[in-house]
Chain A
Amino acid sequence: MTTPIGTAQLIKDMKDAATGILNKDVTTLRGFSERQITAIAQQSELVALGIASGQITEETREFFLDSIEDMALNFAKTLRGLLMVTIEKVWNALVGVTKSGATSAALQSHHFWWPVSLDVMRRRLS
């Protein structure tokens, strides 16, 4: 006996939905991470050079040094925020696929079709 819901097809659809989102989002996340890591490293180098050469003055020295840690922390928080958006998208896509699979399986298993049902109702009422 075949199951009313095509399990293999459902798994494939769920994988496709998740993979599509992950491939797109991982590219964005990787690009963002690489940009940020490179920029924070360059900023650290710039501040070190500026302090050593005296071109970063006493007035701004502590500010720039403290900021490097803050930038790295907010980078990590941004990355986590982006991951939450990706988790949300994957979760909702999986729910969407399951919903559509379950609904169509329920309709098929009961041979339910609106025009037939309306026709039956019409005949019964007449």
Chain B
Amino acid sequence: MNYLSVRNTRLAFVAFIAVFLSACATTLAPNYDKAIVDGLVSVNQKMMEHFASTSSGASKSDYDKREKTYNCIIGSIDALAIQAKARPIPKNKITEKVNEYLRSRGVEVLEGEDAPSATALEKISETITKMRETDKKQGVTAFEVKAFKGQAVIYLDQAMTYESFLER
């Protein structure tokens, strides 16, 4: 009987080590969401089609023809931003330690902030909204379309890279 109880103690010890080390695993970033990545791919295509159709500039006289496209793109981006913001950024001791170190170095911390992809999506929405307002008011020059596109692409790269990277 002693032999069995020693074996049980050993089994409990091995199980304790396994459970203890499993508990050390951590999560420092939001979960991957395939729906957001798929949404980004879809909205990217819509935006590029719109930029292509206005690449020579656009006159305010035919703004009405483009209004629906603007609204569709802005709506899709806003929906994705909400989805991205809905995931909380995990908080744990490691994040707190990193933030303490960053603060001691005078660096702004991520605490309480949204995921960078959510911020990027909000900025894309602002960019397309500004393009829509300008188009409605006075039309947009080819150069302005190029600048709006450049800005949207930079933010889209940030959002897509971050969201894809979350798949781990």
Bin chain A's interface residue count. Answer: 35 or more
Are A82 and B21 interface neighbours, CB within 8 A? Answer: no
Q: Which residue of B lies closest to A106 (CB)?
A: B14
Interface SS of chain B: helix, strand, loop or mixed?
helix
Bin chain B's interface residue count. Answer: 35 or more
- Docked Cα-Cα span, A107 to B25, in Å, equals 22
Are A42 and B150 interface neighbours, CB within 8 A? Answer: yes
Residues of chain A with a CB closer than 8 A to B146's CB? 46
Cβ of A11 within 8 Å of any chain B Cβ, yes or no, is: no
Residues of chain A with a CB closer than 8 A to B14's CB? 103, 106-107, 110, 112
Q: Which residue of A lies closest to B19 (CB)?
A: A99
Q: Tell me, rounded to whole Å, the shortest Cβ–Cβ distance linking A68 to chain B.
A: 9
- Docked Cα-Cα span, A40 to B154, in Å, equals 7
Given contacts A71-B151, A82-B162, A85-B165, 13 further A-B contacts (CB under 8 A): A36-B154, A39-B150, A64-B151, A67-B127, A71-B155, A74-B116, A74-B155, A77-B110, A81-B29, A88-B28, A95-B21, A107-B14, A112-B14
Query: A: which residues have CB within 8 A of B?
Result: 28, 32, 35-36, 39-40, 42-43, 46-47, 50, 53, 55-57, 59-60, 63-64, 67, 70-71, 74-75, 77-78, 80-82, 84-85, 87-89, 91-92, 95-96, 98-99, 102-103, 106-107, 110, 112, 117, 120-121, 124
